[in-house]
């Protein structure tokens, strides 16, 4: 019995360490942006917590700032940036979403569908038909040439 409890303790400690490291890494995810009086120029975004990312973008929208996507937007930043009604993309933009997950371990298909519904319809359709709609480990890669074919109305 003691061996079982010890193994359970070790497993618990491993899970706690994984959660701690993931939280630390997620906290390091950044959105590189030049925030001006009327415009936010997005140079890139590494994703992170969906809630925190959307709070940041919704604040910019509430302040009436126009969002210009001018870099590689990954994960939560990809969903948030491209879902803003006041956003457009430049020739430097890259849309790199992936399926949502908890701690990069447990897939969250309901969250993936919710995030997908926030996007403009052409991006929704393209993402749903991609491998990355179901894959939370790697990201899709839609560059300017892809974006202009998929969603020309979103170009700046």
Is 3 inside a domain boundary? no
Is 24 inside a domain boundary? no
DSSP-based three-state secondary structure for 67 = strand
Per the structure, the complete domain to which residue 124 belongs is given by 30-154
- E-strand spans in the chain? 31-35, 39-45, 66-74, 87-89, 94-96, 101-102, 106-107
Is 68 inside a domain boundary? yes
Name the nearest CA neighbour of 79 among 140, 137, 36, 37. 140
- Counting Cα atoms < 13 Å in the Cβ hemisphere of 11 gives 6
Is 57 inside a domain boundary? yes
Is 60 inside a domain boundary? yes
| Other residues' Cβ atoms within 10 Å of the Cβ of residue 123 | 22
Q: Does the structure show a pLDDT above 50 at 3? A: no
Q: What is the pLDDT of residues 86-102, one digit of tens each?
A: 999 999 999 999 999 88
Phi then psi dihedrals of residue 16, to 5 deg: -60, -40
User: CB burial class (10 A; 0-12, 13-18, 19+) of residue 73?
Assistant: buried
For the entire predicted model, the pTM comes to 0.80
Average pLDDT over residues 3-19: 42
Is 1 inside a domain boundary? no
Q: What is the pLDDT of residue 32?
A: 81
Is 16 inside a domain boundary? no
Average pLDDT over residues 142-150: 97
Q: What is the pLDDT of residues 52-82, one digit of tens each?
A: 999 999 999 999 999 999 999 999 999 999 9
Q: What is the pLDDT of residue 26?
A: 44
Q: How many domains does the chain have?
A: 1
């Amino acid at each position: 019995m003691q061996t079982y409890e010890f193994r359970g303790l070790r497993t618990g400690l491993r899970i706690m360490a994984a959660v701690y490291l993931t939280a630390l890494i997620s906290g390091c995810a950044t959105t590189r942006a030049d925030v001006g009086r009327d415009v936010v120029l997005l140079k890139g975004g590494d994703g992170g917590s969906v809630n925190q990312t959307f709070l940041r973008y919704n604040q910019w929208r509430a302040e009436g700032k126009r969002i210009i996507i001018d870099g590689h937007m990954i994960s939560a930043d990809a969903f948030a940036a491209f879902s803003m009604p006041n956003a457009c993309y430049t020739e430097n933009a890259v849309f790199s979403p992936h399926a949502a997950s908890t701690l990069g371990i447990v897939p969250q298909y309901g969250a993936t569908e919710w995030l997908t519904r926030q996007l403009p319809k052409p991006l929704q359709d393209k993402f749903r038909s991609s491998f990355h709609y179901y894959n939370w480990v790697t990201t899709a890669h839609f560059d300017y040439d892809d974006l202009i074919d998929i969603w020309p109305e979103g170009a700046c």
